[in-house]
């Protein structure tokens, strides 16, 4: 088991589905959802939450600042 576990929370209504977070995620945690938010964008969501290491790369590149990152050691 990994030593560090992370988790992200996406503010779905503010996400514009630009996919920049998806390509900058080193572990492939993030994917675009099949559903859309009220503005019609396919929002980002943690499709593989077990892979997240809490590196905050996604939050760094997010143009809309919708991602909150948590990290803990186990």
Partner 1 sequence: MAEITGIKEIIRPENLVYKRTKVMTDNILSYCPGCGHGTVHRILAEIIDEEGLQSETIGVSPVGCAVLMYNFLDIDCQEAAHGRAPAVATGIKRLLPDKFVFTYQGDGDLAAIGTAETIHACNRGENILMIFINNGIYGMTGGQMAPTTIPGMRSSTSPYGRDVKIMGNPLKMTDIVATLPGTYYVTRQSVHTPANVRRTKKAMRKAVQYQKLNRGACFIEIVSNCPSGWKMTPVESNKWMEENMIPFYPLGDLKTPPEEPASNLKPEAK
Burial classification of residue 31, based on how many CB atoms lie within 10 Å of its CB (0-12 exposed, 13-18 middle, 19 or more buried): middle
- Collapsing DSSP to helix, strand or coil, 59 comes out as helix
Nearer to partner 1, 13 or 34 (CB): 13
29, 61, 68, 15: CA torsion to nearest 10: -90
Cα distance between residue 52 and residue 69, in whole Å: 10
Nearer to partner 1, 34 or 40 (CB): 40
Work out how close the CB of 20 gets to partner 1 at its nearest, in angstroms, rounded to a whole number.
6
Binding mask 26-45 for partner 1 (x = CB under 8 A): ---------------x----
Contact positions vs partner 1 (CB under 8 A): 5-7, 9, 13-14, 16-20, 23-24, 41, 49, 54, 56-57, 59-74
């Amino acid at each position: 088991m990994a030593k560090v576990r992370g988790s992200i929370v996406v503010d779905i209504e503010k996400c514009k589905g630009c996919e920049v977070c998806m390509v900058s995620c080193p572990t492939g945690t993030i994917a675009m959802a099949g559903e859309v938010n009220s503005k019609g964008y396919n929002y980002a969501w943690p499709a593989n939450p077990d892979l997240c290491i809490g590196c905050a790369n996604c939050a760094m590149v997010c143009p809309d600042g919708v991602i909150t990152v948590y990290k803990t050691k186990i």
